[in-house]
Amino acid sequence: MDARETTLLQTVRDLEQQQLEWTCQLIAIPTVNPYSGDASAGSEAAGQSWLEQRLQELGARVRRIPVPQDVYERGGLIGPVDRCWNDRENVVAEWVLGTGDGPTILLNNHMDTVGTAGMEFDPFDPVVADGRLFGRGSSDSKGNTIMGLIAVAALLDNASGLNGRIIFESVVDEECNGAGAGTLACCLAGVTGDIALCLDGDRTNVSIGCNGVATARILVHGQSGHGSVGGAVSALDKAIVVKEAVDAFAREHTERFPHCPVNIGVFRAGTLPAIVPGQAELQINLNYDAQDASRAEQQEGHWDGRLFRSRFEHAMGRLDTRDEWFARHPVDVSWIKDVYPYWCDPGDARLRNLVAVASEVRGQPVQARPLQAWFDAAHLARQLGIPAVGIGAGSPGTAHGAGEYAILDDLYAGTRVVALGIYRLLQR
C-alpha cells in the first residue's frame, strides 16, 4: 500500500462519525416497500430525496429514472404484476474524475426495506449499543448505501491521479417479492459501466454470483360450508397435503443443491371460524442453481428457471397420488416472479483485485463465492454484460430479522474496501 492509498484510508477513518450520522439519519426515514405485506408499508420516496441532496452536496450530476409499467416484460422475465411506480423513482448520480475516459465504476444499492412487524424495538429510531447499530435497514441495506457514499466522498478528496467515472444508483423495489424493478429500469435506460459493485450482502465474502429465485403461488380448492354442519371440505386440510408435497420436493431439491432452499412464506385460509375454508393459498420461494438456468438456455434459449418451474409444476400435478380429492380439484399454480441467477468468472483480474483489497483491509482471507440470496447484481451482470460483485457489510442472519443490526466496525471496514477497490480500478 503506497502513501496515497494510506492517505485515502485515513480520510475514510476521518469520516467515520459522518458515516454514523448519515446512516442513522437514513434509517430514521421509513422506506418500507409498499408491498411489504404489513402495516408499515410505505414508499422509498423520502429516502431517495434525502440521498439525492447528499449526492448533490458531493458535486454529483443527479437525475431520476422512473420505472416503466412494463419493466419486466421489457427485461424478459416474470415479475409481480400491477405494482404502482408513482413517486418511486431511482436516483442516479455521476462524478467524472480526471479526463473521464478511464473505467466507469457502477455502484448500486436499494433504498427499500422489508416491513417492520414483530420488531423488537422502534425500527426507525436507530440505537448504537455494544458496537452495533440497531434499526430497520442497518444491515439490509442502508448501512451499505452510506458505506458507498462515504467511500465516494473520500475518493473525491483524494482524486489526484484517478481517471474515469463513478456512477451511484439508489434503486427501488428490490425487496418484498420485488424482482429488482429499479435496477432493471436503470439497465433498460442505458446506465452502465465497466464493472458494477452492488453494495449488498454480508461482511464474510465478496459475492460473485447468486441463486435464481422463482416465487410460486398455489391456490388450493375445498368446498366451503357452515362450520357446524357436515359435508364441507376444508381447503386448509387439503393445503396441508400440498405443504407435505412441497416439503418432499424441497428435500429432493436440496439434497442435490444444498445452497438452494425452499421456503413457504405465506400459508393462509379462511375468513371466519364459522365457515369451513373454501380456498387456501401458499406462496413459496424456490431457490435454483445456475445449472438450471444454463440448461434452460441450452434447450430453450432462455437463461431462467423455466425447466425448474416445470419440475415443480409436475410435482404439484401429482398431488392426486396423495389424495384423490386433487384428481377432481387440481391446485392452481402460478408464478409471481422468476429472477435469474448469475455467475462471474472468479479469474477476472478486476475481481481478484477486489478480493485482494477486501482481504488486505480486513486482515484475513476473504473468499469470492456466490451469495445464497438473490440480489440486484444479477440484473447488472445479465442485462449489462459486465462483471458484477457484491460488497456489503451486513451482519449475517440479521437482515429482515426482528433485531436487525450492523456492526459498526464492519461498516467502517467495508467503506475502506470500497474506497480502496475503486481507487485501484481508477488509477491512471
Q: Which of 377, 423, 427, 416 is nearest to 203 (CA)?
A: 416
* Residues 147 and 235 both lie in one domain: no
* Residues 283 and 356 both lie in one domain: no
Range scoring the smallest mean pLDDT among 209-213, 295-299, 391-395: 391-395
Backbone angles phi and psi of 43, in degrees to 5: -165, 155
Q: Scanning the structure block, which residue is given the C-alpha cell 433485531? A: 403
Q: What pTM, to 2 d.p., does this model score?
A: 0.95
Question: Using one digit for the tens of pLDDT, what is the confidence trace for 80-121?
Answer: 999 999 999 999 999 999 999 999 999 999 999 999 999 999
Choosing from 339, 363, 387, the residue where a domain stops is 339
Q: Assign 353 to helix, strand or coil.
A: helix
Choosing from 287, 309, 339, the residue where a domain stops is 339
Question: Using one digit for the tens of pLDDT, what is the confidence trace for 344-380?
Answer: 999 999 999 999 999 999 999 999 999 888 999 999 9
Distance between CA atoms of residues 373 and 210, nearest Å? 6
Query: What is the count of structural domains for the chain?
Result: 2
Residue 203: pLDDT band by 50, 70, 90 thresholds? confident
Q: Assign 7 to helix, strand or coil.
A: helix
Q: Which of 373, 177, 200, 174 is nearest to 287 (CA)?
A: 373
**Which region, left, alpha or beta, applies to residue 129 given φ > 0 means left and ψ of -120 to 50 means alpha?**
beta
Cell numbers given for 184:
432493471
What CATH number does the domain containing 330 carry?
3.30.70.360
Distance between CA atoms of residues 115 and 398, nearest Å? 14
Give the number of other Cβ atoms within 10 Å of residue 322's Cβ: 14
Largest distance between two CA atoms of the chain:
83
Residue 263, domain extent: 213-339
Q: Dihedral of CA 382/383/386/390: which sign?
A: negative
Choosing from 339, 368, 397, the residue where a domain stops is 339
Average pLDDT, integer, range 379-383: 98
Give the number of other Cβ atoms within 10 Å of residue 154's Cβ: 27
Question: Using one digit for the tens of pLDDT, what is the confidence trace for 39-75?
Answer: 999 999 999 999 999 999 999 999 999 999 999 999 9
* Nearest-10 crossing angle of helices 235-256, 306-317: 140
* Residues 217 and 167 both lie in one domain: no
Cell numbers given for 254:
436440496
Distance between CA atoms of residues 183 and 387, nearest Å? 15
Question: In this structure, are residues 31 and 137 in contact, taking their beta carbons and an 8 Å threshold?
Answer: yes
User: Rounded to an integer, what is the distance from CA 48 to the centroid of its chain?
Assistant: 17
* Residues 219 and 350 both lie in one domain: no
pLDDT above 90 (res 397): no
* Residues 258 and 224 both lie in one domain: yes
* Nearest-10 crossing angle of helices 142-156, 408-426: 40
pLDDT for position 230: 86
pLDDT for position 201: 83
pLDDT for position 350: 94
Distance between CA atoms of residues 377 and 209, nearest Å? 8
* Residues 288 and 275 both lie in one domain: yes
